[in-house]
Structure 1
Amino acid sequence: MAAVPFSVSFASKVAIVTGGARGIGLACARALCNRGASVVLADADLETASKAAMEMNTQQNKVLAFACDVSSTAEVEKLVQFTVEKLGGVDIVISNAGIVRAAPFLEMTEKDFDDVINVNLKGVFLTGQHAARQMVKQGRGGAIINMGSVNGVTAIPTIAGYNASKGGVHNLTRSMALALAPHGIRVNAIAPGSIMTDVLRKVADNPEEMNKVLSRVPLGRVGEPEEVGEIAAFLASDSASYIVGETIYADGGRLALNYTVPVQNPPPKPPAMPQP
Structure 2
Amino acid sequence: MSGRLTGKVALITGTGGGQGREAALRFAAEGAMVVGCDIDAAANERTIALVRDAGGRMGGTAPVDLGDPDDARHWVERAADEHGRIDILYNNASAARFGTVAELSVEDWRFTIRNELDLVFHTTKFAWPFLAGQGGVIINIASVAGWGGSAHAGLVAHAATKGAVVALTRQLALEGAPKGIRAVSISPGFILTPGTAKVLENPAVLKGILDHIPLNRPGQPVEVVGLALFLASDDASYITGADFVVDGGMMAS
Same fold by TM-score, threshold 0.5 exceeded? yes
Aligned to 2:41: 46
The CA distance in 1 between the partners of 2:165 and 2:100, in whole Å, is: 23
> Post-superposition shift, 1:199?
2.8
Conservation of the 8 A alpha-carbon contact between 1:144 and 1:185:
yes
1:107 Cα deviation after fit: 2.1
SS of residue matched to 2:48: helix
- Residue 217 of structure 2 is aligned to residue 221 of structure 1: yes
What secondary structure, in the 3-state scheme, does the structure 2 residue paired with 1:235 have?
Answer: helix
Q: State the alpha-carbon separation in 1 of the partners of residues 144 and 162 from structure 2.
A: 8
CA distance in 2, matches of 1:60, 1:26: 15
Q: What is aligned with 2:135? A: 141
Indicate the larger mover: 225-234 or 196-205: 196-205
Task: Determine the C-alpha separation between the residues in 2 that align with 1:190 and 1:99.
Answer: 17
Q: Is the 8 A contact 2:139 2:184 kept in 1?
A: yes
- Secondary structure in structure 2 of the residue aligned to 1:128: helix
What SS does the corresponding residue of 2:182 show, helix, strand or coil? strand
* 1:34 maps onto 2:32 in alignment: no
- Unmatched runs of 5 consecutive residues or more in structure 1: 1-6, 258-276
Shift of 1:30: 1.6
Q: Distance in 2 between matches of 1:75 and 1:189?
A: 23
Q: Report what 2:83 is aligned to.
A: 87
Point out the more displaced range, 186-195 or 29-38. 29-38
Shift of 1:237: 0.4
Between the two proteins, the alignment pairs up a number of residues equal to 249
> What pairs with 1:55-204 in structure 2 (closer than 5 Å)?
55-57=50-52, 61-67=56-62, 68-136=64-132, 139-156=133-150, 157-204=153-200
1:26-51 C-alpha deviation (Å, 9 max, x unpaired): 11222211111111111111221011
The amino acid across from 1:146 in the alignment is N
| Mapped contact 2:131–2:137 kept (Cα < 8 A) | no
Q: Which runs of 5+ in 2 are unaligned?
A: none
Alignment CA distance shift 1:140-1:39 (3 Å): same
CA RMSD of superposed structures (Å): 1.6
TM-score by length of 2: 0.94
Report the equivalent of 1:238: 234
TM-score, scaled to structure 1? 0.86
% identical equivalent positions: 35
Q: Distance in 2 between matches of 1:124 and 1:201?
A: 25
Shift of 1:80: 1.0
- CA drift of 1:65 comes to 3.1
